[in-house]
Structure 1
Amino acid sequence: MLLRLSGLFLALSFISACSSTSPTEDSAQASSIQLETYYDYVLYNPNDQQIIENTHSLAMQLADSQVVLFGEYHSHPAIHLAQLRLLEALYQQQNQLSLSMEQFNRSQQTVLNSYLTNEIGEEWLIKQTKAWDNYRSDYRPLVEFAKDKQLTVVAANAPREHVRCIGQQGLGYLEGLEESERAKLAQDFTTDDPAYQQRLFGNAHHGDSEQSNNHFFAMLAWDETMAESIVKQLENQSTQQVMHTVGNFHIEQRQGTYSRVEQRLNGQKVSSLVAINHEEFEKLSDQQKQALGDYLIVVKGLPKRYQNKANQLAEFKHIKKQSNKQCKSAN
């Protein structure tokens, strides 16, 4: 989600599991990581500094985790491939599994359910939920696997229109919402989180800025709502484990959605799989890798988004304009 949020907050393995022919799959004990294509990835346990052989092996290590948070760089082919393979592997050892997704919000749950029960077709699902542009290429495989296995898919996120209004008006916006709309966002917010706030804004953060605080509260609206959605699904007796797909920023360093899930789990275990590109991975110390997440998925870095500042600023200006559309007060 971070790539999608850049404007809002500036202004407002290897091919694993089933493949036995992948060169990286056969080199799990190799001393160096080689990633030739955008479909190659390596799964890594930072606690013992060992490469994990494949997604089946990772699933075994995650067997006692009630919640598995799978971080992603949106539209990275290797990560989306690994998400599907891990979902398959988790299902094979625990069929009381649910899939939770950042990519749908609570207001879309009814439509999503209608698709899963074959009441509507995919095109109607995409149009009615205004699905992400990369739904067909990246998220369709996950949803179709869940549909085939009759797994629950949780539309976990907060509606964008409410998040945008929080970014403009602060948490006071929630007080004016009707009960049905208020239920689309988490009931509880933990706002005292300076480390997460600092990571979000970096050196640009000014703790006494009302605008900065409102932008942070908007970020929390996503984190808190996703966390609450995940844990509510665990309260359903048909679910013993939830795998949640989410933008990497939300779970790095066990902050954001990770910490909010942990707060609500009452001692149950949450585990993260955090994405990192190979160049960054090589620069981190063992301690830094451990701090980043419980497990890592190492991938080939995506192409540079902008070659010059002018192009980048033009894109940010467009996103800022969209994010700053006038928000009507809920009062």
Structure 2
Amino acid sequence: MSLFFLSACSATPPKEQATPSADIQLQTYYDYALYNPNDQQIVENTQSLAKQLADSQVILFGEYHSHPAIHLAQLRLLEALYQQQNQISLSMEQFNRSQQALLDSYLANEIGEEWLIKQTKAWDNYRSDYRPLVEFAKDKQLTVVAANAPREHVRCIGQQGLGYLEGLEESERSKLAQDFTTNDPAYQQRLFGNAHHGDSEQSKNHFFAMLAWDETMAESITLQLQSQTTQQVMHTVGNFHIEQRQGTYSRVEQRLEGKKVSSLVAINHSEFIKLSEQQKQALGDYLIVVKSLPVRYQNKANQQAEFKHIKKQSSKQCKSAN
């Protein structure tokens, strides 16, 4: 999810579910079910989902990073949306604004993929999970928006707060959203959970850092939708940023008053069957139900070692905002 909060191959042909929700069967990590919590029905496939999303200007597709079924569904949905509305753009959390020129150069065949990956320090799972999306967009000559805020600026906001922005040159300041809505206690509570200490300076700064991602992605999506070439935007983003219509979701709605925003939130099948219908509706506009990924840590010492490494990376000192 962030520096501050931690949150494959198969011979089996990918399957799309078309069964009642109580009978969802997920055999492989490429299987998924699409669920509409409003009518409590399984959506037959991504083509059917695309039809239901035809009047949505923004589709926020939440993900568990590196989950094969989710990344497969993202590609299928982008294809289906394109078939019915070719004035669509792909927006991605996985690239930030400082990398837009490189991404544009790649899409224009001015640089190769290896140069793109190395120069943008692309996510480790780019080749397996995000390459198909980018290549589809490249083939169809679609815009790909590098929507996120640069990680180095987000890290410094986490240390110094929003005052850090005041010391940035305009060329750097433009890589983050101009406006921040900081009064959001429900989202702040979900971020910190039972460990919430909202009055501490450190907690506030960590929350502002999360907002730097949400606000910048929302602004990037909005700016693209306001262009003359785009009627619809699909945005790939970590699940936390859009769950319960908070975070990026709410910030897009603020900026696009009167336009329809829809979310597709990922949920593990084991969690899905425990939720009431009211809870499912609160989670998102649509759900993609998937198999749980393998347990990250069986050994607590391994987990603590990883936390220590991440904490060390996030504690690198930033230049003073002044």
TM-score by length of 1: 0.94
Within-5 A mapping of 1:55-94: 55-94=46-85
Q: CA deviation at 1:230?
A: 0.1
Task: Give the letter for the 1:49 counterpart.
Answer: Q
Within-5 A mapping of 1:171-320: 171-320=162-311
Give yes or no for the alignment of 1:8 onto 2:4.
Answer: yes
Check whether the contact 1:24–1:34 (CA below 8 A) recurs between aligned residues.
no
Check whether the contact 2:176–2:212 (CA below 8 A) recurs between aligned residues.
yes
Secondary structure in structure 2 of the residue aligned to 1:124: helix
Q: Deviations over 1:273-325 (max 9, x none)?
A: 00000000000000000000000000000000000211111100000000101
Task: Give the letter for the 1:46 counterpart.
Answer: P
Structure 2 unmatched runs, 5+: none
Q: Deviations over 1:148-174 (max 9, x none)?
A: 000000000000000000000000000
Q: Deviations over 1:98-150 (max 9, x none)?
A: 00000000000000000000000000000110000000000000000000000
TM-score by length of 2: 0.96
1:104 paired residue among 92, 95, 98: 95
1:326 paired residue among 298, 317, 321: 317
Give the corresponding residue for 1:166: 157
1:49 paired residue among 24, 28, 40: 40
Check whether the contact 2:16–2:45 (CA below 8 A) recurs between aligned residues.
no
Q: Deviations over 1:23-77 (max 9, x none)?
A: 654x434641000000000000000100000000000000000000000000000
Check whether the contact 2:148–2:213 (CA below 8 A) recurs between aligned residues.
yes
Give the corresponding residue for 1:133: 124
Task: Give the letter for the 1:315 counterpart.
Answer: E
Give yes or no for the alignment of 1:152 onto 2:148.
Answer: no
Check whether the contact 1:98–1:154 (CA below 8 A) recurs between aligned residues.
yes
C-alpha separation between the residues in 2 aligned to 1:22 and 1:326? 46
Check whether the contact 1:65–1:241 (CA below 8 A) recurs between aligned residues.
yes
Secondary structure in structure 2 of the residue aligned to 1:79: helix
Task: Give the letter for the 1:295 counterpart.
Answer: Y
Equivalenced residue count is: 318
Q: CA deviation at 1:242?
A: 0.1
C-alpha separation between the residues in 2 aligned to 1:311 and 1:128? 31
Secondary structure in structure 2 of the residue aligned to 1:9: coil
Q: Deviations over 1:190-234 (max 9, x none)?
A: 000000000000111112100000000000000000000000000
Task: Give the letter for the 2:31 counterpart.
Answer: D
Task: Give the letter for the 2:88 counterpart.
Answer: L
Check whether the contact 1:9–1:215 (CA below 8 A) recurs between aligned residues.
no
